[in-house]
Structure 1
Amino acid sequence: MSPGRKPVPFEAFEPGVLLHGTKADLAVGDLLVPGRESNFEAGRLMNYVYFTGTLDAATWGAELAAGPGRGRIYLVEPTGAFEDDPNLTDKKFPGNPTQSFRSREPLRIVGELVDWVGHPPETLQAMRDGVEALQDRGAAPIED
């Protein structure tokens, strides 16, 4: 990965640009659709596709996604209606400063951000440990 912008919590990436972090290897024109397995809960099929307006949230998605391969951040456009992500806006960050959204409609890949910078290793490990602790307690972290 070449040097690029570091993720800053609550900072919009660029006005009007929406992002999706994952490990899936996709191409421009591909669609992200609901019904795929959760990155945070094995065996759970998701009813929504999640996306964000911040590089920080997209970076977490790319870094925490399940599966082999490197994390990727795609520029996306919704093909239908979407709403604020209640997992963050209602539970953790009222007012949606993370600019996190979800949709039951597909998201179209319109580009890939290739010069993003990940979180520091110790920050990433702390987040992974937190997610694992939630899973060990059986606390479903996603309201889907």
Structure 2
Amino acid sequence: MADTPERFVVHESGAWFHGTKADLQVGDHLTPGYRSNYRPEHVSNHIYLTKVLDGAVLAAEMARGDGPSRVYIVEPQGPVEDDPNVTDKKFPGNPTHSYRTDKPVTVVGEMTDWVPHSPEYLQRFRDGLEVLKREDRAVLYD
């Protein structure tokens, strides 16, 4: 699914998703102020979420940590805005349905019925991130 246009399809449930390796429970709150999965030296000012299951799966697979990749269904506790890291630079108009909030989000469930990306796809994604870092183009708008 990751290499096809369907990767930007909003999940039929309309739910918000957050991908991570953190072991969370229903009722837990995710809050800003923790290290970024993409720039570990950076403490994030936002929680990132999406309406696209595949995007949350990718975020979970790319997350730091040794635990299993997990995709949680979440409810934002405040306003959300387009994620400028994706929408302004890579996909104008937000076809990825990538968002962020500087308010907490509450875990309301866990999505367990998802297909992981291939190791080859994940390596291509990591390689792309490394190229951006080497070329000083790995800007994080947070």
Shared fold (TM-score greater than 0.5)? yes
Q: Give 4+ residue runs of structure 1 displaced > 4 Å after superposition.
A: none
Deviation at 1:69, TM superposition (A): 0.9
Amino acid at match of 2:58: W
Tell me the SS of whatever aligns to 1:61: helix
Deviation at 1:15, TM superposition (A): 4.3
Out of 86, 89, 92, the position equivalent to 1:88 is 86
Q: How many residues align?
A: 139
Map of 1:1-144 to 2, 5 A cutoff?
Answer: 8-144=6-142
Higher relative contact order (CA 8 A, sep 6+): 1
Please list the CA deviations of residues 55-105 of structure 1 after superposition, one character each: whole Å capped at 9, or x if unmatched. 111011001001111110000000011101111111111111111110000
Deviation at 1:43, TM superposition (A): 1.7
Structure 2 contact 46–102 (Cα < 8 Å) conserved? yes
Amino acid at match of 1:84: D
Tell me the SS of whatever aligns to 1:89: coil
Structure 1 unaligned segments of length 5 or more: list them: 1-5
- Quick one: distance in 2 between partners of 1:72 and 1:34? 18
- Quick one: distance in 1 between partners of 2:28 and 2:7? 28
Structure 2 unaligned segments of length 5 or more: list them: none
Identical-residue share of aligned pairs (%) = 51
Structure 1 contact 14–53 (Cα < 8 Å) conserved? no
